[in-house]
Amino acid sequence: MGLAALAETLDDFPAVIVQGMSYEWEVTSGDYTLSEYTGKCAIKLKGSSAATVLTAVESNNIYTFTLTATQTAALSVGDYEWTEYIEYGSGETIERYTLDSGTAVVRIFLGTAGTVDSRTSYKVALDAIEAVLLGRASKDQESFSIAGRSLSRTPIPDLMSLQKYYAAKVRAEEESKAREQGYKVSGKILVEFKEPQ
């Protein structure tokens, strides 16, 4: 039996995506005749401006989306937003309509050989910033870039502002994860910091 025969077609976008694994799911028409449109799905890490966009294959008014192992391996660990939509036309005359949207989480593949970094992108940034502030940064951490500037070239006051911003983001991630696991979270983030430009 080939691997294709073993693959399970899901009824919806996967709630949990494991790096290096493949996923396939179907979307039905609703009020639209899907053969007249192009079906797409945009996947974006929360807080990021870049998105992965998938194009569906249409058959009998059903869209089939595929997220390949190569694509999931390139996704960072963390919380994602996704939107399935259809579009028609091009340029200034293009029309888009949302089919569905939601959130998902990307996790590491436990079978990965060697040491696996399971930190989210916010936690990686925070650890690098704090290491530079403490004078204990590795070469990779010193060269870590935020808004096009390496941490080693960032003034201390700016580093302290970045530390507050990313600490708030990490705290929000931890609280969200605790809620998903059924824990009560009483803490509140009282200060909202703007994303660095």
Report pLDDT digits (tens) over 5-56. Answer: 445 678 889 888 998 899 999 988 667 777 888 999 999 988 777 899 999 9
Contact 130, 106 (CB under 8 A): no
Which class for 85: exposed (0-12), middle (13-18), buried (19 or more C-beta within 10 A)? middle
Task: Evaluate if residue 174 carries a pLDDT over 90.
Answer: no
* Whole-number Å distance between alpha carbons of 19 and 77: 8
Q: Is the pTM of this model over 0.85?
A: no
Q: Indicate the burial class of 71 (C-beta count within 10 angstroms; 0-12, 13-18, 19 or more).
A: middle
Dist. CA 39–CA 63, nearest whole Å = 7
Rounded to an integer, what distance in angstroms lies between the CA atom of residue 111 and that of residue 130?
30
Least Cα distance to 24 among 71, 88, 80, 86 occurs for 71
